[in-house]
Structures are given as C-alpha cells and as structure tokens.
Chains A and B, each alone.
Chain A
C-alpha cells in the first residue's frame, strides 16, 4: 500500500476526451452505460435529482435570444479525479474506504459492499457524478434476464458511480495475461459509452501513453476540463470550437463576472 511510488511509474492513467462538437446529445452513451452496468430504473424518472445515471448528458444553452440561441450537450461521466497523491475529493472523505484511487489505472473505484451510505462523497464531488440508491432496484417481469454477471447489482442505501467500466479492464487484463502480453492494447479496453457513441465523439485510453489517441487529443489547444481551478485534476477532457461552451466549463465564472460588475 505504501509502495505507491513504484506504482506511479508503471501505472496507467485512463481517461477520456469528448468532442462536444461531434456529440449530438442522442443519449446512446447513457443507455450503453446503464445496460452495461446493471443500472436500475423506476416508474418515474423525471426527477433528475434521484435518478441514477452514471453517464449523464447535460444540455447547455448560450443564453442568447432568438435567433442567436445555441445549445450544446455535455456528457458527464465520473471525472476520476487525481488531486495530489490521489486524494480525489470523494476518496479523501470516505470513512469506509469504500471508494479508492487506483494507482494502477487511475480509476476511482466504488466498492458497494463497503459503502454504508453516509453520502459524504456525494457532497464532496463537485461534478455530481455520484448517485445514491434511495430504493432497492426492481426489474420488471422478465428483465432480470439481461443482467450482466460482470457487474453486481446494488442495494438501497449505497452510493454508485461510473467506474470507467472497470470490469472491462479486468477482462482485458486477464485476456492479455492469458495471451502472454504485458500490455493491454488500446482497443482491448474501451468503456461501453465510448464503444456505443454513434457519432464517435468519445475517445478513451491511457492519457500518459503517447501511442493512445487520447494523449494527442488532450493536448489540443481547444481542450479543457470542468472546474479546472479546483485542482481536482480530472481525467475527462472536452474539446470544442465554441468559446461559450469553454466558458461554461466553470459555471462560477459568470457569477464572478457579475460580482465584479
């Protein structure tokens, strides 16, 4: 556990670059994620404060009047923050060690059986990426048939969130080991949302590996991250040509501007 330095050198930093100009707001990533990760659903899902959506697509508007109005969609998975020493906002507050930062992959984990539902992590997360199970999941007649054995269904009272499809990493790692490779190929480990995106807007890979597409994309001058100045060091980058979208990446800027006058 203390031998983190060694891990830092060999470890990977999986992350995502999302092209907001390609994103169509179609919602395929949201459903790909729910289908992959046994995410439950309930009769009324219009209260967006209590619905579980690991990958959520937000709709933003430039606030300009007709006909200069513009909208943009922004998919928001867990940012898998890596603040100093891996102290992501949620990891440092968890009293149950139910969420942890992996120096092997750079993924912030969530261990459902350890979580006792205090929701400190939800309060700490600046991205609203964490969701609480207010109810036990109920699948309608017959629908348990499609549940995947790779991801355990959760119960009432625990917090859950995007895992960058960590089970896919495990499968890819097992496969690579069986085949005698040391390295997991870029294409061998991709998240469900990346794979599904019909517009090809999401790119996933090791942010530190120059051979991976994300490495180049994150250095795009148009790339930015959400609430960057909080120092959370998120692993999800966004790319857009639209200045107003970049500006909204920090939603406090507007208020500050107004306060300054």
Chain B
C-alpha cells in the first residue's frame, strides 16, 4: 500500500483526534497517579480511641512523671506531666524512647534457660513453672548444703518494695549479701554517716542556690534526678552562678558561668585549697563552725595529747601554691573562687563526676562536703541536706530458722559495713571474692535492674568472676550483658507494664513516694520479680514461706502502701510537703552531736589510679552524655541516632585529646590510633578538642555493648573494659576515676 501525503496527514490528524477522544491515556495517567500514592509496604498505623495514662518513669532514679498517649491498647508516645514536681512537663531523651524498649526486639519474651556455654547466646525457652521449679530446686539445694550465706543479690536500688523483698528473701534464706550497684550515692551516704551521723541520702535545693560549685558533677549531663537538675540549671540562669571544675569542657562546663579546668582526680585537693583560703580570709560561717561543728579548732584529747583540728590541718597542708601544683588551677583562681563561694548567700558544693555513676573516695566526698559546712549551708535553703530514707515499709522482721541464723552469722561477701568508714555495699569486692573464693565461694547470684558485667570497671575481671559462680539468675526484661551471661532469665515486667513504688528521686531535698502504674498490659510472658520471690519462698517453704505471706506482689505492695495506695494511684506522687530538714542543733547524730570535721582529718588522701607514668604517659578518663545511656538499659535506636559523628563513626569510637597532646604524639584529628591501658588495648579514632586538659584522653561511657540489637551492639568500645577498679582504702569503694594510658599512631 502506498501512502501519499494526503493520506499520511489525515491518518495523523485522525490518530491525534482519537488519542484525545479515547479515555485510555487519561485513565492511565489517573491510574499512575493513584498508583504512585499507593504505598502498601509502608505501615498504616491503626487509629482508634485516644487516651492518656499517667505513670512514673523508672528507667533511672530520677522519678519523672510521665503521661503516655495511647491509641486503643497501644502506647504511642511518652510525654512529661506538666506541673509535676520533678520534671514539670520536661522529659529526657531516654524517657522519650521508652516505647522502643517496651516493644523492641531486645525484650526477653519468656523465661529462658541457658543451653549453650555461658554467654554463647543459646537459650532454651521454658514456661514459668519449669523456670520457677529450677530456681527453687537450686536455691533449696544450696540451703540444704548449709551454704545459704553463699547466695548474693545485686540490685540497682535498695529502696522500695522490690529491693526490700529481695533483701528480706535473702535474710530469711540465710544470707546478708544484698548489694546495691555502686554510684555517688555511696559516697554521699558515707560522708553523711561519718560527718553528720545520719543514715540518709543527699538532697540539693539548687533552685534556691545562688552559687553552685560543682566538682565535676554533670548538672546537665544526668547527675541526680536529670530533668529536675536541668530545670534547676535553667532556673539559676541570671539569678545565680554555676562554676564547673572539670578536666573537660563538658556540656555542664560550657553552660556554666565559669569553667575551671583541673587535673583529673585532684578535686579533693582543690576543695581543701578553697577551704584554706576561706579559713585564711576568715570567711567561713562562724555561727555554724563555732557552735555546731566539732574538730575545727585543735584540741587536747582525754590523754592530754594535742590533736590537730581541721583549721590547722588545712592551713598547714593546703597552701594555694602547692594546691596549684597538684591541681593545675592557678593560685589566683583558687583565691577568687574561694572568696566568691564564701561570699555568696546560698552557696552549695556538689560532688560526683559526670552522672555520678561511680563513687568517689570518701576523702573527696568529705573534703567537698566540708566546704558546705564551712559556708554553713547544710539543711538550709539553697543548700545540701540529709534526706531521710523512706519509712513506709514496716514489715515485721523476717523469721529466721536455724539455717538462716547460721547463714546470717557469716560475714558479708564484700566485707561491707565492717567498720564505721566502710561503705554499706561494695560490689567491686564481690568480683575479687568470687574470683578467689574468699571469704567463701559464691554459689548463686541474683541480679535485678543491674548490669554489672557492663557497668563495673574492669569488665574482663567481672566476667571471670561470674564464671566462678555456678548459678546466675537475671530478672532483666531486656537481653543486656549480664542477662546474656546468666544461667536463667526470669524476665520482670518492664516499667510501663507494672506497679512499682519509687522512693525520693535522687538529689531531691524533700522525701516523697511515687507509684508507677501499668500503662499497657504485659506484652510478653513476663512476671513480677516480687511474684517470683514469693513463689520461690513458698516452694522452699518453712520460715521463707512465713517471711513472704502475701498472695502476690500487688497485694504486698498494696498492703505496704496502706493508706497511700489510693492517693498514689490518683496522684502518682506524694510529697512530704511539711518536711523541713532539722535545725542545726538537732541535725547531727554524731558522738559529739555536732558536724564532725575531724572525720576528714583522720583519713588518708586521694586515690591514685592504676598504671605507671613511664609506660603510660597519658590519663584516660570516662565522660558521660545524656545521649549515651550507660546503666542497666542501653541506648534505644532513637537515642543512638542522635550521637554525634565526632563520638561514633560507623563502629569507631572517638577519644578526645588536646591539640598539644595530639602534636606531641603525632596524632591527627579523625585518624586512627591505638589506645593502650594496663587493662587492654584497642583501636580508636582521635578527636582533637580544645576543651580538654593536655595529657588527658576522654572516652564516652555507654558504647561498646555486646548485648542488645544491631542498632547498639558492636558500636564503639566500653570504657569500663579499659579501666581497672581501684579500691579506696578507707571506704572500700571503687574510686577509680581513670587509668594511665598511652595513645600511639595506628
């Protein structure tokens, strides 16, 4: 067929007209646009009735009020409760990510029994009956063998019904080895005990202070009750001054009115240097020191011997020039700091490095507390006070049979509470005791809301100690490092699924009780740890069953809280609003009835760290960040996402060093280096940072997890693996604030 010009044109016009008239292209375009908006592979979250459930966050001891938004029975968002005494609407980064940990894959979904080697990660899923039968059998056997005292328990807290139930269970069982995980609480409690004679925790009225002198405390890094401290920090702006004494320009240091860089580990010396200037200039609170303090002036004891008082001791030993030599803080700065601190109307000195997750030596906590005494800001507005422990748990003493009595006669495994200066709990010593089998070999360890394998310094030694304990039980609702290393996991409900009483938030000056209430029903086959204890006690029978007479944990909690139960259910928190810290004449329960400066002069100096200067010319210190959770819960995916690429890049961790140090060792910013300490070595990357004292290497705490999911595991290094525990000879606490180290080109 031949196509002429006319035919070609008419065909073209016809085709064009046809395309316009036919619906096909329009239909296709329409379909295409619908199709491109159709994303069946992206989830469509189900809608439904919305409601808010109120509770209290217990991911840390901060005690923030939370309001959880729900759609039907799904929790979709955690928010802070406005007007709540602790957090007033604010909430921290970890609290915000709570739902990722509630629903996420790191949950332990049912009881697990180890089937492979320790830590291998091979588990046999068992039902609760089997799991409870196993723990009952094992504990009954140990008890029968007369080894009741060889069972210990590690818990993240010693306040509230669950820790008290654990303690009670052990007591009836025949062991006094209830041990709380170490933190700055230990140091404060001990300082209060020795200088004030009170069994109490520390409260800080920062909202009303006008001069906060912080010896490395990360007021905005998670120290104390984090959100409460954040709020105080904002409140102080323009009204008061914050001075941060720290080797590193932390966020707290950057936001403070003055950053005083100091050689790490010399905080106590600086505190006494300040005391020297305050005393020399006669700026101390005469009323407090003369009437309510003992051991300030030198005195003659009963034997007629001359005893040196705090005043003479400080004036002789802590001259600004020599203090400057040790601390690296210039004499003029020491003088100015001392004068402005003493002249402020409501000054307060804080102790505890970073988040306060590690204790300090008793010497340090006492030296810093002595400053508070010098300015007379104890139990005063804007100062520090000894907050009594909660008193709502009034169970009768646990009945003891012959086995229990014999067990309780045995010394504690950690030698804690053995003398007036020894701490109440010494988890660091359990490591050595388990390893050496002295004073006796541990037969079983129960772990609740703690992750010692990750959080204790000298991780390798901790693991080796765990290897010597034949039976390790974890109550963790998440597969953390310690759970991974256990023989039996009896998962507790997670904080959003359970009732739990929470005592006074850390660092708050007024006693209170809060109550966590379930926001969602338990997502997995988990059980209250309280219920486990009650059932095991019933299984073993005898005095144990008598010691745990409750039907279940909820009944126990309800009975214990008594009249408070209904109020707590409605309000979430009860504060002793009438509470006033006792006046100075009634505040001190020491032998002299006064604040005792002499307790400080009686004990030794600062703790030196592991390693020799020749082989390890630098000092490694850990640092804390709100964006790196480092307790019994690791970073959820949202939180690790916010970590800077100057801290973590792919799987590499960065350590901070001063440019001068970098130059000295030929290290360049961003480049790899080998970090070596007496405890181990690893490859790191270098972050050259102007905000750090020369000669110091700073490594973030909270990375290097081996447990959890792909979002967290295997990223960076755990600083605890590189730091060895160093015992404070006075208190027994692990007071290691770092370790000697070297950094070389990789």
Residues of A at the B interface (CB closer than 8 Å) are 21-22, 24-28, 30-32, 34-36, 38, 41, 43-48, 51, 53, 57, 59, 61, 63-67, 69-73, 113, 116, 136-137, 139-149, 152-155, 192, 195-201
Contact = CB atoms under 8 A, between A and B. Distances in A.
Contacts of A142: 103-105, 107, 523
A43 B76 contact: no
A140 B230 contact: no
| Residue among B105, B230, B646 with most chain A CB within 10 A | B230
10 contacts: A27-B93, A31-B638, A35-B99, A35-B638, A72-B254, A143-B103, A146-B75, A146-B102, A147-B45, A195-B89
Given A45-B641, A71-B254, A61 B105 contact: no
A66 B690 contact: yes
Contacts of A144: 43, 45
B39 A155 contact: yes
Given A67-B261, A149-B45, A198 B254 contact: no
A21 B255 contact: yes
A195 B638 contact: no
A197 to B, nearest CB: 6
A31 B642 contact: yes
Nearest to B658: A66
A220 to B, nearest CB: 13
A69 B640 contact: no
Interface in B688-717: 689-694, 709-711
A26 B639 CA distance: 10
B77 A24 contact: no
Contacts, number: 194
A70 B96 contact: no
The 5 nearest A-B residue pairs measured at CB: A198-B90, A69-B690, A147-B45, A24-B220, A149-B47
Interface in B24-52: 36-37, 39, 41-48
Nearest to B100: A143
A196 B42 contact: no
A35 B254 contact: no
Contacts of B104: 140-143
Interface string B271-299: 00000000000000000000000000000
B648 interface: yes
B650 A44 contact: yes
Given A41-B637, A141-B105, A200 B710 contact: no
Nearest to B638: A31
A62 to B, nearest CB: 9
Interface stretch (B130-138, B231-239, B540-548): B231-239
Prevailing SS type, chain A contact patch: loop
B230 A198 contact: yes
A192 B78 CA distance: 10
A71 B691 contact: yes
B638 A41 contact: yes
Nearest to B691: A69
B659 A65 contact: yes
Given A46-B643, A199-B90, 18 more contacts: A21-B237, A25-B251, A26-B93, A31-B96, A35-B97, A36-B77, A38-B45, A61-B690, A64-B690, A66-B694, A71-B691, A116-B36, A140-B105, A143-B100, A146-B99, A146-B102, A148-B45, A148-B77
B43 A147 contact: yes
A197 B97 contact: no
A149 B71 contact: yes
B230 A24 contact: yes
B330 to A, nearest CB: 11
Nearest to A68: B690
B60 to A, nearest CB: 13
Contacts of B692: 66
B227 interface: yes
B528 interface: no
Contact of A41 (B36, B93, B711): B711
Interface string B85-118: 0010111110011011011110100000000000
Interface in B349-388: none
A43 B710 contact: yes
B105 A28 contact: no
Contacts of B259: 67
Contacts of B659: 65-66
Nearest to A116: B36
Nearest to B47: A149
A213 B120 CA distance: 57
A155 B76 CA distance: 20
A140 to B, nearest CB: 5
A34 B77 CA distance: 10
A10 to B, nearest CB: 29
B645 interface: yes
Given A22-B237, A198-B91, A199-B230, A153 B43 contact: yes
Contact of B96 (A47, A155, A196): A196
B521 interface: no
A70 B76 contact: no
B626 to A, nearest CB: 4
A199 B220 contact: yes
Contacts of A24: 220, 230, 233, 251, 255, 626
A32 B105 CA distance: 21
A68 B692 CA distance: 10
Interface in B557-615: none
Contacts of A67: 259, 261
Contacts of B91: 28, 32, 196, 198
A154 B643 CA distance: 23
A241 to B, nearest CB: 9
Contacts of A148: 45, 69, 71, 76-77
Contacts of A116: 36
Contact of A46 (B69, B75, B648): B648
Contact of B37 (A38, A70, A113): A113
Interface string B202-236: 00000000000000000010000011001101100
A153 B45 contact: yes
Nearest to A30: B642
Nearest to A158: B39
Contacts of A136: 41-42
B673 interface: no
Contacts of B46: 149
B343 interface: no
A148 B233 CA distance: 33
A198 B90 CA distance: 4
Contact of B645 (A46, A69, A155): A46
Contacts of A36: 77
Contacts of A63: 690
A59 B645 CA distance: 11
A196 B80 contact: yes
A22 B48 CA distance: 38
B671 interface: no
A137 B39 CA distance: 12
A65 B464 CA distance: 44
Interface string B143-179: 0000000000000000000000000000000000000
A63 B659 CA distance: 12
B79 interface: yes
A144 B104 CA distance: 9
Contacts of A22: 233-234, 237
